[in-house]
């Protein structure tokens, strides 16, 4: 049987930076082939070439062992290649069905008729996969996890036979991720070819037939995941073993942030936030676990100061109602915010790395008056922060932030937010889509903030992340905290609380 997709001798540069150097990758029909590597290793660049988004400078791309040239995503789609990107490609004001309709071949009939047919197809495919998606719902009203499901449905309904999934389970619960990967594994067994770009070693071990490791833009090795341990996979990926997060801590202090009876307006007979009660204590990480779409994003938005109408109490010790604080006051109060959508809410990709870092201190006058900024000092401090927080891929702090890989973009966000020792840390899915090294670096920063006396709120749909870091865990369902657990928490009990209240 011919290979489904083969890339050989591929090189690609961006702004003088060699992202790929003689890289190669082959996936066969009927297999799930995992692609591992640190953020910035070249995985996404290689897969973007396979999806027709980038043109290689050198190298060949073969489909069914026949050489092809992809001039764009439309050519890739005609070759039945579909990619689900880590950072979503959705039109937020459109409905789920309208977004998916954009990716389907043009057919006869009115727009309304085609939309109804698309809604029917979505319902059928969602039921087959086990997703819960309302085809008529606006994408802007969906959680990050729900948006990921829409992306997956969009590719499947477009008829792709070569599926490239970039971190497909990063924002799914254990049960959802297992169901999804079982589904795509089934598609492979039916003859499709699946490329799984992931950082979850357990997923590789359980669902991948082969795994290729990349480092520094080059292909390191391809092997059978059943013949290698997770520890060896980690070592191949990062070049060394990584320490486990430390858990020792002193007794937590008093509550620094108290949320009482937090509710959002009633819409259609229900509230997205329906009476949230929780307290964040100094020297403690409070983790929120739950199935996506149960109000986690809305809670994060309210606490981070994004416009979300709400009633109830959000009391910051020594200040009062946090909702009355503007962004400058939040900086002065040493509140660090790490949103789930780092490119949409935390960074301006079109601005430089220095501008993204310095903007957190412009209001304070640190760099002079806003009409005569001391850009040299801003660049110097940015460079120091880049080195201190190990932000890789920075050739010059004047380069655009959009050129950073996901993990390094997250490190830049954390460098800015932690530039002054935070008192409150609000983190929503802080390691989503990051490789093991970048994820470990984020976790160490959260633990260090806790150990320095900060109150840390960790909202994550990755239960492993919550269990690894949280001192107390609240389970969120239907817009409220339905159960709380002290460390060490029982995974099965948490999972039961998550599904019993859905």
User: For residue 394, is the peptide bond before it cis, meaning its omega torsion is within 30 degrees of 0?
Assistant: no
- Cβ neighbors of 235 (< 8 A, separation 6 or more) are 241
* Rounded Cα–Cα distance for residues 274 and 271 (Å): 5
Among residues 198, 222, 238, the one where a domain terminates is 238
CATH code at 42? 3.40.50.300
Does one domain contain both 22 and 149? yes
Least confident of 127-131, 321-325, 444-448, 458-462: 127-131
CA 209 to chain centre: 25
Rg over CA atoms, the chain: 23
Does one domain contain both 404 and 424? no
Maximum mean pLDDT: which of 8-22, 131-145, 414-428: 414-428
Q: What pTM was estimated for this model as a whole?
A: 0.63
* Rounded Cα–Cα distance for residues 122 and 134 (Å): 9
The reply to whether 392 falls in a domain is yes
Does one domain contain both 404 and 427? no
Does one domain contain both 30 and 146? yes
Query: 198 or 365: which carries more pLDDT confidence?
Result: 198
DSSP run (H or E) holding 26: strand 17-28
Checking if the pLDDT of 20 tops 60, the result is yes
Least confident of 368-382, 442-456, 479-493: 368-382
Task: Tell me the pLDDT band of 168, cut-offs 50, 70 and 90.
Answer: confident
Using one digit for the tens of pLDDT, what is the confidence trace for 286-303?
999 987 778 898 999 999
Angle at alpha carbon of residue 236, lines to 231 and 242, rounded to 5°: 50
Q: Give the pLDDT confidence score for residue 202 in this predicted structure.
A: 82
Q: Give the pLDDT confidence score for residue 245 in this predicted structure.
A: 62
Using one digit for the tens of pLDDT, what is the confidence trace for 54-97?
999 999 999 999 999 999 998 998 999 999 887 778 999 999 99
Does one domain contain both 281 and 377? no
Which percentage of the chain shows pLDDT scores above 90? 47
The reply to whether 260 falls in a domain is yes
Does one domain contain both 246 and 172? no
Task: Tell me the pLDDT band of 272, cut-offs 50, 70 and 90.
Answer: confident
Does one domain contain both 229 and 357? no
The reply to whether 340 falls in a domain is no
* Rounded Cα–Cα distance for residues 88 and 171 (Å): 12
Using one digit for the tens of pLDDT, what is the confidence trace for 343-369?
888 899 899 999 999 887 777 777 777
Q: Give the pLDDT confidence score for residue 474 in this predicted structure.
A: 95
Does one domain contain both 233 and 301? no
State mean pLDDT over 118-147: 85
Checking if the pLDDT of 485 tops 90, the result is yes
Checking if the pLDDT of 319 tops 90, the result is yes
Does one domain contain both 424 and 414? no
- Cβ neighbors of 34 (< 8 A, separation 6 or more) are 195, 196, 197, 198, 203, 204, 207, 208, 210, 211, 212, 225
Query: 14 or 28: which carries more pLDDT confidence?
Result: 28
Does one domain contain both 382 and 403? yes
Mean pLDDT computed over every residue of the chain? 87
Give the count of domains, the chain: 3
State mean pLDDT over 190-198: 91
Using one digit for the tens of pLDDT, what is the confidence trace for 234-271?
788 776 655 556 666 678 889 999 999 999 888 777 78
Tokens describing residue 116 = 């109804």
- Cβ neighbors of 379 (< 8 A, separation 6 or more) are 354, 397, 398
The domain containing residue 463 runs over which residues? Answer: 242-334+420-502
Other residues' Cβ atoms within 10 Å of the Cβ of residue 207: 23
DSSP run (H or E) holding 497: helix 491-500
Does one domain contain both 405 and 467? no
Does one domain contain both 260 and 124? no
* Rounded Cα–Cα distance for residues 301 and 488 (Å): 29
- Cβ neighbors of 414 (< 8 A, separation 6 or more) are 338, 389, 430, 442, 445
Residue 348's φ and ψ, nearest 5 degrees, are -105, 100
Strands 58-63 and 66-68: antiparallel
Among residues 213, 238, 263, the one where a domain terminates is 238
Tokens describing residue 192 = 């499709």
Among residues 382, 402, 418, the one where a domain terminates is 418
Which percentage of the chain shows pLDDT scores above 70? 93
């Amino acid at each position: 049987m011919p290979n489904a997709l083969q890339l050989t001798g591929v090189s690609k540069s961006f702004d003088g930076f060699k992202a790929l150097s003689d890289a190669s990758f082959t996936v066969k029909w009927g297999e799930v082939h995992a692609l591992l590597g640190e953020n910035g290793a070249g995985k996404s660049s290689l897969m973007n070439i396979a999806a027709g988004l980038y043109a290689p400078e050198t190298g060949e791309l073969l489909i069914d062992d026949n050489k092809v040239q992809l001039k764009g995503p439309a050519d890739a789609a005609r070759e039945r290649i579909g990619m689900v990107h880590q950072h979503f490609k959705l039109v937020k004001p459109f409905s789920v069905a309208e977004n998916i309709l954009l990716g389907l071949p043009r057919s006869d009939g009115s727009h309304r008729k085609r939309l109804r047919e698309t809604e029917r197809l979505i319902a059928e495919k969602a039921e087959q996969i086990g997703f819960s998606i309302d085809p008529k719902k606006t994408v802007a009203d969906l959680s990050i996890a729900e948006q990921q499901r829409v992306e997956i449905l969009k590719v499947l309904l477009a008829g792709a036979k070569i599926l490239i999934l970039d971190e497909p389970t990063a924002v799914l619960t254990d049960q959802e991720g297992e169901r999804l990967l079982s589904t795509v594994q089934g598609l492979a067994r039916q003859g499709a070819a699946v490329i799984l770009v992931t950082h979850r070693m357990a997923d590789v071990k359980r669902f991948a037939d082969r795994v290729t490791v990349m480092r520094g833009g080059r292909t390191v090795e391809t092997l059978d995941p059943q013949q290698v341990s997770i520890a060896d996979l980690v070592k191949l990926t990062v070049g060394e073993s990584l320490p486990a997060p430390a858990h020792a801590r002193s007794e937590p202090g008093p509550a620094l942030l108290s949320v009482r009876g937090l509710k959002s307006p009633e819409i259609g007979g229900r509230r997205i936030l329906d009476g949230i009660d929780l307290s964040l204590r100094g020297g403690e990480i409070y983790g929120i676990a739950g199935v996506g779409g149960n109000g986690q994003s809305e809670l994060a938005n309210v606490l981070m100061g994004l416009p979300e109408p709400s009633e109830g109490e959000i009391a910051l010790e020594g200040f009062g109602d946090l909702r009355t604080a503007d962004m400058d006051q939040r900086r002065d109060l040493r509140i660090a915010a790490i949103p789930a959508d780092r490119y949409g809410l935390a960074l301006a990709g079109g601005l430089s790395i220095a501008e993204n870092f310095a903007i957190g201190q412009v209001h304070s006058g640190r760099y002079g008056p806003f009409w005569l900024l001391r850009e040299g000092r801003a660049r110097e401090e940015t460079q120091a922060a880049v080195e201190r927080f190990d932000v890789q891929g920075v050739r010059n702090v004047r380069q655009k932030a959009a050129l950073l890989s996901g993990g390094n973009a997250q490190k830049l966000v954390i460098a800015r937010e932690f530039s002054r020792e935070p008192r409150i840390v609000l983190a929503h899915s802080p390691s989503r889509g990051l490789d093991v090294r970048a994820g470990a670096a984020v976790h160490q920063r959260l633990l260090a903030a806790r150990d320095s006396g900060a109150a840390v709120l960790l909202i994550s749909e990755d239960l492993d992340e919550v269990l690894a870091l949280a001192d107390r865990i609240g389970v969120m369902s239907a817009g409220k905290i339905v159960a709380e657990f002290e460390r060490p928490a029982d995974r099965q009990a948490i999972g039961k609380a998550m599904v019993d209240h859905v």
